[in-house]
Structure 1
Amino acid sequence: MASNASSPIRRTFATLLKIGLYGFIAALIALVVAVTVAMNSLPSYQELVRRDDLGQMIRVRAADGSVIVSLGPSFGQWLRYEEIPPIMRNAMVAVEDRRFRMHPGVDALGIARAVTVRVERGRWVQGGSTITQQLARNIFLTNSRTFGRKIREGILALALERRFSKNQILELYLNRVYFGGGAYGIDAASRRFFGHSAKTLDLSEAAIIAGLVKAPSNYSPTADAEAAKGRARVVIDLMRRNGSITAVEAAAAEPAAVKLIPSPRQNSVRYFTDWALPQLDTMIDETVEPIDVWTTLDPRMQRLADTAINAATPRGAQGALVALDRDGAVRAMVGGRDYVTSLYNRATQATRQPGSAFKLFVYLAALEAGHKPDETIVDEPVTIDGWSPRNSNRTFSGPVTIREAFARSINTISAKLGQEVGFRTVADMAQRFGITTKVNTQPSMVLGTSDVRLLDMTRAFAAVARRGVAVVPYGITKVTTADGTMLYSHEDDESRVLVAPWVAAQMTDLLQTAVLTGTGRAAHIGRPVAGKTGTTSSNRDGWFIGFSSGLTTGVWMGRDNATPIPGLQGGRAPAQAFNNFMTQAVANRPAENFEVQVTLPDWQVEPDAEAWYGSPDGMMVDPDGNPLPARNPGAPPFEDPVASAPGRDGGPRDGARDGGVRDPADEPERLDEEWLDRAINRNREPVPERRPRPPADRTEL
């Protein structure tokens, strides 16, 4: 009976055994097919050496050629297997795959050991991946922790072992694996952490590098130097146990004594690179080959700007500065007090009210409409559509020149000019000069109630300094490949004229007066400076923007949440920061006097004898503009037709009465504004007599 009972069990067992055997054979066949297919689809060894799949390396250079930032993967020299120090090869094998020379790409014992530990501890503590599997994952797969990815990883590892030798696989691995700090490969890691080629690595250095593969972010010397050195001691002990080194060599190694290169501080230069580098997408198509980006940044000016902002910005506030050369080249850019704690670039991203700095566009529109700096306007109460601006000193000064009104930042005069030329005209002027944010056309806009960016405002002032020619800020001068092939080169465009040269010259006159006698006196640096302050209500924002010696600099200060800052005014901390920066920034440049007097067109020139009675080519005309007959060469000098015209009593104007004594009534009429009024029947309103006024409070709104 027992024999009969066991017979079905034996048959069932035999059936299951056959199924298992057939399944194993089928799986083996499938594995062989999969490995064969994978092996035939693998790239060649030379294609794997290129490392194009790791991303693009970008070296950003300053104007002097020095490298200020390296972005993307960092590649060192590709080292052939024979060039890699044996101590480095042994260290990597000891810590990552001590059975590397024995398995076919997948280590069954390693997998079994990892599964056993998983069962014992309830979680994955160690992986069973070989060096070959890690290479397959790094090149072809992702780091996702899925069973399917693990199967593909194993198949690719077996294919790699069939296609390449053990030495080639180790060479690929050591030149491609990521070691942290942006470094791919042992040579890049050695140069990044120790400052020399991987060809000269000693035992302690090799142990530090080998220990990074397990967790580059945790053990990288750039993240935690002590953790990296501690991990190196573990690697050295493993090498001793595996027989790679002797006990004496292990005892002599001192990872703690290895000198590491400090990681460069992420300072304010990154504000500039974060702004400039995204522009590469519109300049070049190269996205694989390593490139060098040559920029306009002046390292010395950048340090000066960083120091000036941190020294002058009030406690609890932020500051920003941007400096443009005469063609728009960005020489310095600071977007905040500390890039590490705040990546927000307040020079290019923040939009804030500019206060009276916006009056630049009001006065540009007025000057373009025909107003002159010496023209007189009455400072008096004004109401526009229910809005009544008031001056910061709460008083009115009566008749003042446009120059004085701008220098003292008188709000009522700005309101009058804005109403006269049109608020839409002022907004158009702002946008013409490069303001990219929306500009409202409410009457109060003349006092700077529209949000703007510091870079845009600085660009506008730079265009005035350039005599009305548009300035486009740029940060990249050229882009080249690693071998020097030119991919992009910047070209300056001077063809776009925003305002006539005489308008820019008159505006410069006003801006210079604002620094010499007005609200911007703190910005004076001992050479010609033109600029304007700006302060918003409740001291939420402080601005100073100005130019000297071909350099235009804009400064903004305030809090990110726009809360008031007691005592913050454009003429104080921002003007002081401008002063501190510009004093040294332009020290090596020759001082330049401003061109505030330029030749005006005929319709702008005051009438004189030549304009009314003659022309530069010598042709004579009568008082009605009709040409006079040409004189004979021997004729007496030409007589002024007005001077020789009959006098009031019918006698000659230049004749003598009563024995040659001239009557004042017989003097020639002066060709002045009064004469012109009579000539064209123009009536002028009498200019009010200027009244004495109390000393002005020069603080602006």
Structure 2
Amino acid sequence: MRAAAGRAAAGAGAARRALGRAAGHPAVGRAAAGAGRAWAPVGRVLRRVPWRRSAAIAAVLAVAAALGTFVYALATLPVNGGLVVEPTSSALVVRSEAGQAFATRGIIKGAKLSPRDVPPVLAQAIVAIEDRRFYDHPGIDLRGLARAALRNAAAGGTREGGSTLTQQLVRMMYLSQDRTLKRKVQEAVLALWLESQLDKQEILTRYLNTAYFGAGVYGADAAAQRYFGKPARDLTLPEAAMLAGLVRAPSQLAPHRNLDGARGRAAQVLDAMTETGAITREQAEAAKRSPATVQVPTETPVGTNYFVDAVADAAKGLIGTGPADATVRSTLDLTLQNIAESVLARRLDGDGERRKVGQGAIVAMAPDGAILAMVGGRDYADSQFNRATQARRQPGSLFKLFVYLTALRNGYRPDSVMVDRPTQIGEWEPENYGGRYRGSVTLRTAFAQSVNTVAVQLAEAVGLPAVIATARGLGVQSELPSVPSLALGSAETTLMEMTRAYAAVAAGTETVEPYTIRQITSRDQTLYNRPPVAPAPMRDATARAGMVDLLAAVVREGTGKAARVAVPSGGKTGTTQDYRDAWFVGFAADLVVGVWVGNDDNSPMEGVTGGDMPAQIWRDVVTQALAARAKSAKAARPTTAVSLPPPEARPAPEARPARGGAVNGTPAVVDTGTLDFDGTTVRLLGVDGLGGRNARELGRYLRRRDVACLPAGEGDGFRCTLDGQDLSELILFNGGGRASADATPELLAAEEQARSNRIGIWRR
């Protein structure tokens, strides 16, 4: 042992001698001396200050920093901070003639709830999902904070918040959404202060009045009105659970866009309510089986926006811009609106490019002036300019209505004879379409064939001031210059003006006032009811009867033969120079429809006349509208007939035997309207087929499946069935094609449903 110690001592001595020699080196010596001088003050401080005193100083500094942060947070509490909602006009919920809500404009504000107005089921839902210890903590829940921290640590990220309802309320009312220490301190202080000032029920009520529920609405009553069309006090358990689930992620879960997500979150709320004892497990399961459904759309169907614009303008004129939300019962027939949109889109998409037709507009009106449908253009998303009410275009021969009605009032009759001959007024010499003259013709023939020279002669005979007076009396408000060419429609008018004029003749009244609103209500108060109007009969019944005779002749034997329908009808074509505008306005049964096609830049179309595309559009709209109305009237009558199931389950109609035979097998898809059975081509009745992805999807659907087809009648179409379903109806119902000219009312209804649901090719 002593030997080992001796060896260690000897080693230490050697080390000291080595260090001494190194220190003797000039460079090393200077470095050592400098280091010693640098660390000398630190060493003296460490020798003088005990470690306990250092720790105490550090603690004091930390407390001072925390106190400083706290004082700074208090000193910078915002005076006017918190939630800022941009001022908006009152919301307008628009309902159809039948009472169906289909559009909403503006931001629904709802009513401010008082504590006694808060439905218990909503209060229980909010507390269960957002702050279960709401009634037990003083504004800050330390237990909840600890629980949230543990769960977030276990999840590896933020999965649960620890803020109480009171903290959330002060954040919304007074603070910003910044995630800073200062804001957290301010939030805690204000939460404790608010709890000392208000009772729990008042805090909960203010929270419900302030929270954001998506779709631009703040407050529970506004959300109930927006999504369910009812005040908050009438919420059911499934609806209350859905609203309570929205406050965590309102934009992501808003039920008008993500109904499945909102229902899934509502199910979590129901489970939480069960855990807190607010409801029983049986009540929760029953609510899950009957989840809430959105009743009021928050996004207007694209095609109805032209009509909704008109409603909003009319409502502003009737009730102003009051602070309360309002509900409008409009005149819109949703079925007819869908028909009009579908027909116009199909015609423009089909022939529009080839014939250089870029735009179109349709107005459908009841004889009393109620606007039943309005299509102001091809696509509202591309252009909000309403071509039915705002575009002023030359009506061409459509204006002859006023010339001939004035003549009939001045003693002329439909059988009165005029001479179709070259006519000149000053330097102006009108020509007939085609450049030919017919000689002696009756007024009926001249009007039916749209003879220009006769119209000009009549206008000269009765006087242009009288023609202008007739037009004014029938509702034309546009400027009408008193020049000879006015007789041929050289002045500019709107489609709405011309349609209302023809409606007055159809109804036998002096004038028709178009309107879009029947009633306006706000909560439980009626703000406007359209008063009953007794229209004045047209003062010259004989002249009116003669005018109806002339209008019927246009469709029966004149330029409007393409507009023939299965019921008595009448109308008039209109075409302007160089084919820049083409019109058809007419009436059938209790429906008046006006159609215009042309181009926004006033460029010429490719030979399109009023008796061409506009008359065809008019015919399609009226035919489908009358069929839909007949079907609706039949359904409304008491009957023992069995109602039809939806298209998915509806058995295909029994095919009628016709020329040719049945075709069966697994087809190849040429397009969605054409199938190929080993070289035999079958065209599906009522479907204009599409290729590309639509055809590929149909091909995958039909792969290795048997399809049975039978001739559908006199045409070349076939009715094909797949597992008992009508294949044409199935394709149209899913937006896989467009309805063709030979489509039956059932097939047109299937297309309208797809268009309304925005599926397949109608998706935007």
TM-score (norm 2): 0.57
Query: What secondary structure sits across from 1:181 in the alignment?
Result: coil
Cα deviation, 1:118-165, whole Å, max 9, x if unaligned, reads: xxxxxxxxx9998657657877999999xxx99999999887555423
Cα distance in 2 for residues equivalent to 1:153 and 1:567: 72
Contact 1:283 1:488 (8 Å CA) reproduced: no
What does residue 509 of structure 1 align with? 549
Q: Which runs of 4+ in 1 moved over 6 A?
A: 24-31, 76-79, 97-100, 127-130, 136-145, 149-159, 190-198, 225-233, 257-260
In structure 2, do the counterparts of structure 1 residues 371 and 193 end up closer, same or farther at CA, with 3 Å as the change threshold? closer
Which 10-residue stretch deviates more, 518-527 or 272-281? 272-281
What is the aligned partner in structure 2 of residue 280 from structure 1? 315
Aligned to 1:582: 622
Of the three residues 404, 426, 437, the one matched with 1:363 is 404
Partner residue of 1:476 out of 513, 517, 525: 517
Name the aligned partner's letter for residue 546 of structure 1.
G
Which of 335, 345, 354 is the equivalent residue of 2:386? Answer: 345
**Secondary structure of 1:532's match?**
strand
Q: 1:467 corresponds to which residue?
A: 508
Partner of 2:430: 389
SS at structure 2 position matched to 1:377: strand
Select which of 315, 329, 336 maps to 1:294.
329
1:399 maps to what in 2? 440
Change (3 A) 1:326 1:193: closer
Contact preservation (8 Å) 1:531, 1:545: yes
Paired residue for 1:521, among 558, 561, 564?
A: 561
Which residue type is aligned with residue 83 of structure 1?
Answer: V
Distance in 2 (alpha carbons) for counterparts of 1:557 and 1:296: 24
Amino acid at match of 2:414: P
Residue identity opposite 1:513 in structure 2:
A
Counterpart secondary structure, 1:527: coil
> CA shift at 1:515, angstroms?
1.3
Separation in 2 of the partners of 1:144 and 1:531?
66
Q: Aligned partners of 2:245, 2:263: CA distance in 1, in Å?
A: 9
Counterpart residue identity of residue 214, structure 2:
G
Letter in 2 for 1:274: D
The equivalent residue for 2:198 is 164
Q: Is the Cα contact below 8 Å between 2:92 and 2:312 reproduced in 1?
A: no
The answer as to 2:348 corresponding to 1:307 is no
1:89 aligns with 2:130: no
Equivalenced residues, count = 551
In structure 2, what is the Cα distance between the partners aligned to 1:572 and 1:172? 63
Write out per-residue CA displacement over residues 334-376 of structure 1, whole angstroms, 9 at most, x where no aligned residue: 2234445544332222222212111112222333333332222
* Cα displacement string for residues 217-250 of structure 1 (whole angstroms, at most 9, x for unaligned residues): 45534446798799999x99xx9xxx999xxx9x
Answer whether contact 1:319 1:336 (CA < 8 A) is retained. yes
Q: Give the Cα–Cα distance (whole angstroms) in 2 for the partners of residues 577 and 142 of structure 1.
A: 56
Q: Is contact 2:403–2:487 with CA below 8 Å preserved after alignment?
A: yes
**In the alignment, what sits opposite 1:62?**
96
Distance (whole Å) between structure 1 residues aligned to residue 611 and residue 481 of structure 2: 26
Match of residue 699 from structure 1: none
Q: Secondary structure at the match of 1:391?
A: coil
Matched, 1:444 2:481: no
Partner of 1:649: none
1:144 & 1:403 partners in 2: Cα distance?
A: 78
Aligned equivalent of 2:581: 541
Q: Which moved more, 1:482-491 or 1:439-448?
A: 482-491
* Shift, 1:67, TM fit: 2.9
SS at match of 2:319: coil
Residues 27-53 of structure 1: CA deviation (Å, up to 9, x unaligned) = 98998xx99xx9xxxxxxxxxxxx9x9
What secondary structure does 1:571 align onto? coil
Partner of 2:715: none
More deviation, 158-167/541-550: 158-167
Shift of 1:433: 1.7
Confirm or deny: 8 A CA contact 1:81 1:168 kept in the other structure.
Answer: no
Task: Give 1:418's aligned residue.
Answer: 459
The 2-side partners of 1:538 and 1:150 are apart by 72
- Structure-to-structure mapping, 1:190-229, within 5 angstroms: 200=237, 212-213=246-247, 216-217=250-251, 220-223=254-257
* Pair 77,301 (structure 1): closer, same or farther in 2 beyond 3 Å: farther
CA contact (8 A) 2:473 2:510 kept: no
Question: Residues 100 and 131 of structure 1 are in contact (CA less than 8 Å); yes or no, is this contact kept in structure 2?
Answer: no
Structure 1 unaligned residues grouped into runs of 5+ = 1-20, 39-50, 110-126, 590-701
**Do 2:340 and 2:375's aligned partners in 1 also have CA atoms closer than 8 Å?**
yes
Kept after mapping to 2: 8 A contact 1:85/1:199: no
Following TM superposition, by how much is the alpha carbon of 1:25 offset from its aligned partner in structure 2, in angstroms? 9.8
**Structure 2 Cα separation of the partners of residues 69 and 528 of structure 1:** 35
Change (3 A) 1:271 1:195: closer
Residue 479 of structure 1 deviates from its aligned partner by 2.7
CA distance in 2, matches of 1:195, 1:463: 37
Cα offset for 1:320? 2.2
Question: Is there any run of 5+ residues in structure 2 with no aligned partner, and where?
Answer: 1-66, 146-160, 353-357, 631-764
Native 8 Å contact 1:177 1:185 kept in 2? yes
Q: How far did 1:386 drift? A: 1.8
Deviation at 1:451, TM superposition (A): 2.0
Task: Please say if 1:563 is aligned against 2:603.
Answer: yes
Question: Is the contact between residue 373 and residue 510 of structure 1 (CA under 8 Å) also seen in structure 2?
Answer: yes
Closer/same/farther in 2, CA of residues 155 and 56 from structure 1, 3 Å limit: farther
What do residues 68-123 of structure 1 show as CA deviations (whole Å, max 9, x unaligned)?
334441759967374336564353359xx999955589xxx9xxxxxxxxxxxxxx
User: Does the 8 Å CA contact 1:362/1:446 hold for their aligned counterparts?
Assistant: yes
| Residue 420 (structure 2) aligns with | 379
Q: What letter is aligned with 1:559?
A: N
Q: TM-score, normalised by structure 1?
A: 0.61
Deviation at 1:532, TM superposition (A): 0.2
Among 300, 304, 311, which residue is 1:269 paired with? 304
- The Cα shift of 1:170 comes to 2.8
Deviation at 1:568, TM superposition (A): 2.4
Task: Indicate which of 459, 473, 476 corresponds to 1:435.
Answer: 476
Q: Distance in 2 between matches of 1:142 and 1:356?
A: 65
Alpha-carbon shift at residue 523 of structure 1 (Å)? 1.7
Map of 1:243-262 to 2, 5 A cutoff?
A: none
The superposition leaves residues 562-615 of structure 1 with CA deviations (integer Å, 9 ceiling, x where unpaired) of: 3333242211222122222223434668xxxxxxxxxxxxxxxxxxxxxxxxxx
Work out the CA distance in 1 between the residues paired with 2:550 and 2:329.
Answer: 37
Shift of 1:293: 2.3
**Structure 1 residues 668-683: aligned runs within 5 Å:** none
Please state which structure has a larger fraction of its residues in helix.
2
